[in-house]
Structure 1
Amino acid sequence: MSQQLLNLPRKWLIFTVTATGTFMGTLDGGVVNVALPSIANQFNANIENIQFIVTIYLLAVTCFLPIFGKLSDLYSRKKLYLGGFFVFGVGSILCSLAGSLPMMIFARAVQGLGSSAMMANSQAIIAKAFSGKDRGRALGGIGAVVALGSLAGPAVGGFLIQHFGWPSVFWVNLPVCAIGIWRGLQIIPRFNPKSKMRMDMWGAVFFLISCFSFLYALNDGPSKHWNAPIILGAFATAAVFFGLFYYRERVSKTPFIGLSIFKVRAISYGYAVAVLGFMAVFTNSVLFPFYAADILHLDPVQTGLLILPFPVALALSSPISGLLSEKYPARLITTIGLGLVIAGTLMFSFMDGETSFFYIALAQLIAGCGSGTFQVPNNNTVISAAPKNKLGIVSSVNALARNAGMIMGIALSVAVYAAVQNLFISRGAAPDAAFLHGYQAAMWFGAAVALAGGILSAKRD
């Protein structure tokens, strides 16, 4: 179906299907974060190990994004997107049945593959269905859906855990998957690409090995120690295969990604800002539930309620940011958004065992508003600058940048937390005091990353 035939009502019907997948992914993230302490108790795991439930999902999503994005440029975006729904549903069933931490990690990897297929195609489908001002509004709407999923996640997760146990948090994905597949078959057009180019399989393999090795080493470095042979070997493997990938990109007639996209200033700066922005936002995602449980001694429902202000602010700021992007430069809006992320993260860095709920809620609101403000115009800038025949790969690498930022934000914040906590424990500090010192240091790290992103955003065209 050509873009000319997509009238406004049909465009927004397509939007509802992509929004369904986005909602499910963010809902799952929220309920899993709230469930982490309960899952940790079930499997007798510490923070350094339990974080892999989150990061293995992000690893699978991130590493396969360019592959699914490239396939969407060559084959059917519709089939890949709806196939992602199905695989995500299978992964959710496996998660609910997991009887050990390794089984849970495997199931989350399956979920990640499904989510990757959806995420790689979501923005590309939006970009094909919408153009001009409508595109900014649609991306702003997706940002609001992200917030609604995040908003519902902690509340739904807390309720389910309280009454049915942690396995129940994965059941909620199944009806959403069924609805998404059913409506997608009816509504999403084929959008079959005209290109007959083939995918460079060697380039894809080299990229996959390099990406996974690097992110694995980054994630496991804090728990296994940075000088452990397996971590040093993973970093070395990442470097070798990245070199092979780069060489393959230079000599292949049909490169896997095509390094020419990074010569477009709007795209390269947008990617860098996405990495830094999401690193800053995710420094608090794993640590805060443990702060609420171990320092404030809150139950899952109360923890979920304290997380809610962040997605509320995200839901309100995302569509507003989309509308503002029609009138003002992306550089201005994204820089203001990252400034708010800095302010909110700095507020987290001053929290202790006596911090009021009002203060915590205000910090969540400011950080959430900053996240929603910087994301939409940054995404729109990247997508609008993409060549038509590389829309899928540009969109998927944009998603890769976001997810790589999430993984690095989680891994490095936990590393900072663990290092500072261990330092204070070695000096004889009480466990709660050592936790707070580690938590506060991690939040200072997040603020510094957001500052770097804000400076880079201010410098772009």
Structure 2
Amino acid sequence: MTSIALAAKRGDVTVHRGTIVAVMVLGAFVALLNQTLLNVAIPHLMNAFGIDADTVQWLSTAYMLTNGIVVPISAFLIATLTTRTLFLGAMLTFTVGSVICSISPTFSVMLFGRVVQAIGAGLMMPLMMTVIMAIYPPETRGKMMGVIGISMFFAPAVGPTLSGWMIENWSWRLLFYVTIPIGIVDLILAFLFLTNVGEPRRMRFDTVGFITSTVGFGTLLYGFSEAGSKHWTDPVVELSIACGVLFLILFVIQELTYDAPMLNLRVFTEPQFTITSVVSSVLNMAIFGGALLIPIYMQNIRGYTALQSGLLMLPGSIVMAIMSPISGILMDKYGVRVLALIGLSITTVTTWMYTKLGVDTPYSYVMLLYTVRMFGMSFIAMTIMTSGLNALPRHLVSHGTAASNTVRMVASSLGTALLVSIMSTQTTAHFDAYANMMNVGNQSLSVGFNSVAAGMAHQMRAPLGVGTEVARALWNRIVTMNATIEGINDAFRVATLLALVALVLSALLRGRPNKAGQ
């Protein structure tokens, strides 16, 4: 056990522990804030660089792919580099990436800046969780992870609203300008106050593991991201996913047989860690995909602005940030199972209620439902992962954080692709069903359509043919809107099923806090 860990256990370096947490939380906050700021700016970036939606999406895809490559090797870097060196390097890399994005004259330069940002951000979260697990005993880790959750959930709370306000009044470049001084301040604080946790070890680099994980996770995540915008039977999607699965199989074989694995997959031999990872992954599939559907419904269907859509999500994110430390304290006292059952029950019911969206669902109702859904999630967002890491022995914690973050990332990507694909497919199916109703000569629909056409022609003082064309365009718009809403509702039905699966699996969680990682 390291000297700081021993001192932390005795309780005589509380100030140092608090400083370490504060420095790392600030780094995680600015990384998450940047990501949420950018999401709302996508349409403006399309106009600024003269690119289409498929091209601009690479700002998110490249960021995700880079994270998918960096996170699995974080366990090796945490073991071989000092805490100060790794965090300063990660924070500096992220800040440099922000500078590149802020001054980028072309889309290609901005894309490069996003990759640089992702390298730094991908290392921060696993490092922060590993350090917390090292300097706090199991019985207080829930509370500290809850404190970390404040930064994780406060950034998404203020990000969309702040981004919408800045874009409406200033340039999109301000989204990156605001993160640069925060990154510089955190670099200074880390240089002055950050203490090393643990002693670095000399380890052989697992080259085969690195190559197979890079190709495996990279192509798999790419395939999932393309499936959301294309189709699961698209040759590129099929080839990417098949390649990803093949190389991940090779990666698993390498890590289980190599004497110095880059990512020790034996963490999954601990039942509590495995169950928490599965529950968290299934839940992330439901949550991240569902979180994408709400802005589509509010902006594309209901016509609300990006700022109004961000304000709708603000109360829920604030509730989640407030509840995060409270949930951590409750986990330390009662264990994770009771929190998971409560939180997942609320999440499942509210997700099901989203299957009832309509063309005139009140804004306040959608906001209230989203807030209650986030309240349910606050019981499980950080506590499930903490419980799984608590079950691991200390020397496997860095591997556990890397493995946990990796599977959650893959699950989030898969869930987003799955629900968006379901929404698109079902929207087309519902539209065709409406069209068939007209084509089979439905008497009441035909009478109604002809009446509207005649009314349009009379109002425009135009021939009946002109009125018919206007009525057909109006009918097409109304049918498209209703078909899209029903497609979104169908996607939420699948999300409800996923949340229900997570609820059932949560009954297998250990009821009382586990101190195996002490």
* TM-score for both structures, normalised by structure 1: 0.93
Partner of residue 239, structure 1: 245
3-state secondary structure, aligned to 1:116: helix
Task: Return the match for 1:431 from 480, 483, 493.
Answer: 480
Partner of residue 325, structure 1: 331
**In 2, Cα distance between the equivalents of 1:231 and 1:63?**
19
3-state secondary structure, aligned to 2:341: helix
Partner of residue 424, structure 2: 418
Q: Say if 2:506 is the partner of 1:442.
A: no
Partner of residue 444, structure 2: none
* Preserved contact between residue 56 and residue 109 of structure 1 (Cα < 8 Å): yes
Question: Aligned in 2, Cα 1:398/1:3: closer, same or farther, shift over 3 Å?
Answer: same
Q: Offset at 1:177?
A: 0.8
Runs of 5+ unmatched residues, structure 1: none
**In 2, Cα distance between the equivalents of 1:4 and 1:228?**
55
Q: Offset at 1:98?
A: 4.7
Q: Which amino acid aligns with 2:177?
A: W
* Preserved contact between residue 215 and residue 247 of structure 2 (Cα < 8 Å): yes
Question: Aligned in 2, Cα 1:170/1:442: closer, same or farther, shift over 3 Å?
Answer: farther
Q: Offset at 1:50?
A: 5.1
Q: Offset at 1:99?
A: 5.7
Q: Say if 2:192 is the partner of 1:186.
A: yes
**In 1, Cα distance between the equivalents of 2:198 and 2:333?**
33
**In 2, Cα distance between the equivalents of 1:327 and 1:249?**
36
Question: Aligned in 2, Cα 1:282/1:173: closer, same or farther, shift over 3 Å?
Answer: same
Partner of residue 513, structure 2: none
Task: Return the match for 1:269 from 264, 270, 275.
Answer: 275
**In 2, Cα distance between the equivalents of 1:90 and 1:436?**
42
Partner of residue 11, structure 1: 17
Q: Offset at 1:139?
A: 0.4
Partner of residue 32, structure 1: 38
User: In the TM superposition, what whole-angstrom CA distance separates every residue of 1:332-378 from its partner, at most 9, and x where no partner exists?
Assistant: 21222122222232233222331112211111111211222112221
**In 2, Cα distance between the equivalents of 1:223 and 1:147?**
27
Q: CA RMSD in A?
A: 2.2
Partner of residue 391, structure 1: 397
Partner of residue 200, structure 1: 206
Question: Aligned in 2, Cα 1:402/1:172: closer, same or farther, shift over 3 Å?
Answer: farther
Q: Say if 2:256 is the partner of 1:250.
A: yes
* Preserved contact between residue 73 and residue 391 of structure 1 (Cα < 8 Å): no
Q: Offset at 1:49?
A: 6.0
* Preserved contact between residue 134 and residue 394 of structure 2 (Cα < 8 Å): no
Partner of residue 91, structure 2: 85
3-state secondary structure, aligned to 1:326: helix
Question: Aligned in 2, Cα 1:287/1:98: closer, same or farther, shift over 3 Å?
Answer: farther
**In 2, Cα distance between the equivalents of 1:291 and 1:93?**
34
* Preserved contact between residue 73 and residue 390 of structure 1 (Cα < 8 Å): no
**In 2, Cα distance between the equivalents of 1:67 and 1:331?**
31
Question: Aligned in 2, Cα 1:203/1:188: closer, same or farther, shift over 3 Å?
Answer: same
Partner of residue 450, structure 2: none
After the TM superposition, which of the residue ranges 67-76 and 89-98 deviates more from structure 2? 89-98
Question: Aligned in 2, Cα 1:177/1:440: closer, same or farther, shift over 3 Å?
Answer: same
Q: Say if 2:414 is the partner of 1:365.
A: no
**In 2, Cα distance between the equivalents of 1:439 and 1:58?**
24
**In 2, Cα distance between the equivalents of 1:40 and 1:279?**
28
Question: Aligned in 2, Cα 1:424/1:93: closer, same or farther, shift over 3 Å?
Answer: farther
Question: Aligned in 2, Cα 1:446/1:93: closer, same or farther, shift over 3 Å?
Answer: farther
* Preserved contact between residue 284 and residue 443 of structure 1 (Cα < 8 Å): yes
**In 2, Cα distance between the equivalents of 1:270 and 1:50?**
35
**In 2, Cα distance between the equivalents of 1:259 and 1:164?**
48
Q: Which amino acid aligns with 1:456?
A: L
* Preserved contact between residue 280 and residue 409 of structure 1 (Cα < 8 Å): yes
Please list, as runs of the form range in 1=range in 2, the aligned pairs for 1:156-167 lying within 5 A after superposition.
156-167=162-173
After the TM superposition, which of the residue ranges 63-72 and 127-136 deviates more from structure 2? 127-136
**In 2, Cα distance between the equivalents of 1:201 and 1:450?**
38
Aligned-residue sequence identity (percent) comes to 25
Q: Say if 2:458 is the partner of 1:451.
A: no
Partner of residue 467, structure 2: none
Partner of residue 209, structure 1: 215
**In 1, Cα distance between the equivalents of 2:347 and 2:59?**
25
After the TM superposition, which of the residue ranges 409-418 and 319-328 deviates more from structure 2? 409-418
Task: Return the match for 1:289 from 295, 301, 305.
Answer: 295
Partner of residue 383, structure 2: 377
Question: Aligned in 2, Cα 1:103/1:424: closer, same or farther, shift over 3 Å?
Answer: farther
Question: Aligned in 2, Cα 1:53/1:75: closer, same or farther, shift over 3 Å?
Answer: same
Question: Aligned in 2, Cα 1:341/1:402: closer, same or farther, shift over 3 Å?
Answer: same
Q: Which amino acid aligns with 2:5?
A: Q
User: In the TM superposition, what whole-angstrom CA distance separates every residue of 1:108-132 from its partner, at most 9, and x where no partner exists?
Assistant: 3322211101122010111122224
Q: Which amino acid aligns with 1:259?
A: L
**In 2, Cα distance between the equivalents of 1:50 and 1:351?**
29
**In 1, Cα distance between the equivalents of 2:273 and 2:383?**
12
* Preserved contact between residue 147 and residue 315 of structure 1 (Cα < 8 Å): yes
Question: Aligned in 2, Cα 1:100/1:372: closer, same or farther, shift over 3 Å?
Answer: farther
Q: Offset at 1:241?
A: 1.3
Q: Offset at 1:281?
A: 1.3
The number of residue pairs the alignment matches comes to: 460
Q: Offset at 1:12?
A: 1.3
**In 2, Cα distance between the equivalents of 1:220 and 1:294?**
21
3-state secondary structure, aligned to 1:325: helix
Greater Cα radius of gyration, structure 1 or 2: 2
* Preserved contact between residue 73 and residue 389 of structure 1 (Cα < 8 Å): no
Q: Which amino acid aligns with 2:480?
A: P
**In 2, Cα distance between the equivalents of 1:354 and 1:182?**
51
Partner of residue 411, structure 2: 405
Question: Aligned in 2, Cα 1:353/1:170: closer, same or farther, shift over 3 Å?
Answer: farther
**In 2, Cα distance between the equivalents of 1:410 and 1:105?**
22
User: In the TM superposition, what whole-angstrom CA distance separates every residue of 1:369-421 from its partner, at most 9, and x where no partner exists?
Assistant: 12221122212212212222222121122222322232222222211122122
**In 2, Cα distance between the equivalents of 1:94 and 1:78?**
24
* Preserved contact between residue 161 and residue 300 of structure 1 (Cα < 8 Å): no
* Preserved contact between residue 336 and residue 509 of structure 2 (Cα < 8 Å): no
* TM-score for both structures, normalised by structure 2: 0.83
Q: Offset at 1:27?
A: 1.5
**In 2, Cα distance between the equivalents of 1:105 and 1:347?**
38
Q: Say if 2:466 is the partner of 1:460.
A: no
Partner of residue 52, structure 2: 45
After the TM superposition, which of the residue ranges 97-106 and 147-156 deviates more from structure 2? 97-106
After the TM superposition, which of the residue ranges 379-388 and 35-44 deviates more from structure 2? 35-44
Q: Which amino acid aligns with 1:125?
A: V
After the TM superposition, which of the residue ranges 12-21 and 349-358 deviates more from structure 2? 349-358
Runs of 5+ unmatched residues, structure 2: 436-475, 511-518
Question: Aligned in 2, Cα 1:132/1:263: closer, same or farther, shift over 3 Å?
Answer: closer
Partner of residue 20, structure 1: 26
* Preserved contact between residue 281 and residue 367 of structure 1 (Cα < 8 Å): no
Q: Offset at 1:105?
A: 4.1
Task: Return the match for 2:73 from 55, 67, 79.
Answer: 67
Partner of residue 453, structure 2: none
**In 1, Cα distance between the equivalents of 2:139 and 2:291?**
33
